[in-house]
Amino acid sequence: MTVVQPSRADSATAHFDAAREVLVAGISGTARENAALGQAMLAASGEGPYIVAPDGSRFLDYFTGFGSVILGYDHAGVRAAIEQALDMGIIHGPETVYQEQLARRIVNLVPSAEMVRFANSGSEATMAAIRLARAHTQRAKILKFEGHFHGIHEHVLYNTHPEPRTVTTGEILETSADSAGIPAAFADAVIVTPWNDLSAVQHAFELYGPDIAAVIMEPINYNAGALLADIGYLRAVREITRDHGSVLIFDEVLSGFRTGTDCAQGFYGVTPDVTLLGKAVANGVPLAVIAGRRDVMSELAPLGQSAHSGTYSGHIFGVKAALATLDALEAPGVFDGESGLLAMSERLYSGLRDIFEHRDIRCRVQGVGPRFALYFGLDPEVEPRAYQDIAGHDSDTLKQFARACYARGVYFHVYEVVVGHHGFGTAHDARIIDETLDRVDAACVDLAAD
């Protein structure tokens, strides 16, 4: 398979100029814009690890649909599952046998899952889970962490990408909404602390413990690149929430199925009360999962009083796609085999580190499983642990790098305001990773020549 060299003059520009007349900003969501390119990527199709542009240019893709397409763009099993769903008719009012099958698979794989409810997006799942936690505890407040993103609604859209600043240990941060149009009253129910600072969580519980319904976190904070939790910190947060009767929610919409089929909770050995999955669970077909302890999940209507339902909840396309995705992810060697995702991660990250060192580019490459951050301007040897450690990263160099890679046929998605994350999936084999490294190296030479 040859990679056609994309031309630097982007043929997509004319399309987006026309699209702006009828589509807000010419795109279907803010995050589609690639700040490095000044516009979104215009695709005609996807094939394995490639995005194919309308002019036939093929880009080695390190975006993978916001982290959802873990098996590549044309996985035969997922395609067959969707075809089976089509053959059934677009049926999504009655239940079928497949929702139960998928729920059972998730219960078997994910340590915290005893019961399951399906939703359509990560945002819907976090919204439902927070209401569920509030119903279960009869409390209002939630505690979230700086730099963690949980979707686009009023209950969680706070402090996802604040300006760089000095934070003192134990500090409870000022709550700051990331969108206009959020009534101030919502902020009264949100407490924000820095990630990996146990004293701040303790402080929050000292002040507000009896009012805290839930602590919600990305157990691997991919939305700030790839920030791991200290294991002692995570265990302590588990203990504090248990002691105070608060619901611990792991938002694994991004971290689910990155380190193994038991997700980040299996990776750490820390089990939350409620888990949210999305993205990779159905390889890019819309589906989200709310899963958790039986007594908490029983709070959902019609067993309990916490409302959750939807025209498309448990839609057959997503459910069938997820069954096929889990079949593929559960195959031996997918994560830890010789050419599994973890080995490919190491191959890519060590290759990138070598290139940056050789080309004298200061960049911290930090990955957990097949998702990673490129923190330009930060010390390559120092592991950042919290949002403020990376808030000052050099986003201009990231944009220049992504532009240079794009010209060499490698696609990195760069957000305007958030740090962002990159990643790959099972379609990126050793040959693809090596080809990527060659192209990235050439891009770095171009950068130096610019």
Ligand X SMILES: Cc1ncc(COP(=O)(O)O)c(C=O)c1O
Find the binding residues for ligand X in span 259-288 (CB under 6 A). 278
Interface mask toward ligand X for 121-160; x: CB under 6 A: xxx--x----------------------xxx---------
- What's the closest the beta carbon of residue 397 comes to ligand X, in angstroms? 24
Stretch that binds ligand X, among 79-87, 138-146, 250-258, 345-353 (CB under 6 A): 250-258
Interface mask toward ligand X for 49-78; x: CB under 6 A: -----------------x------------
Q: Which is nearer to ligand X, 28 or 309 (CB)?
A: 28
Interface mask toward ligand X for 154-193; x: CB under 6 A: ----------------------------------------
Q: Which is nearer to ligand X, 125 or 437 (CB)?
A: 125
- What's the closest the beta carbon of residue 449 comes to ligand X, in angstroms? 35
- What's the closest the beta carbon of residue 206 comes to ligand X, in angstroms? 28
Q: Which is nearer to ligand X, 57 or 123 (CB)?
A: 123
Q: Which is nearer to ligand X, 53 or 70 (CB)?
A: 70
Structure token pair of residue 446: 């171009």
- As to burial, measured by CB atoms within 10 angstroms (0-12 exposed, 13-18 middle, 19+ buried), residue 145 is buried
Ordered alpha helix ranges (H), 292-394: 294-297, 316-329, 341-358, 387-390
Distance CA 96, CA 313 (A): 12
Q: Which is nearer to ligand X, 153 or 353 (CB)?
A: 153
Distance CA 424, CA 344 (A): 9
Residues that bind ligand X (rule: CB under 6 A) add up to a total of 14
Stretch that binds ligand X, among 184-192, 195-203, 248-256, 432-440 (CB under 6 A): 248-256
Helix (H) or strand (E) holding 182: none
* 8 A C-beta contact, residue 170 and residue 199: yes
- What's the closest the beta carbon of residue 258 comes to ligand X, in angstroms? 11
33-34 and 39-40 strand pairing: antiparallel
Find the binding residues for ligand X in span 198-227 (CB under 6 A). 218, 223
Q: Reduced to 3 states, what is the DSSP secondary structure of residue 43?
A: coil
Query: Does the protein bind ligand X through residue 253 (CB under 6 A)?
Result: yes
Binding site for ligand X (CB under 6 A): 66, 121-123, 126, 149-151, 218, 223, 251, 253-254, 278
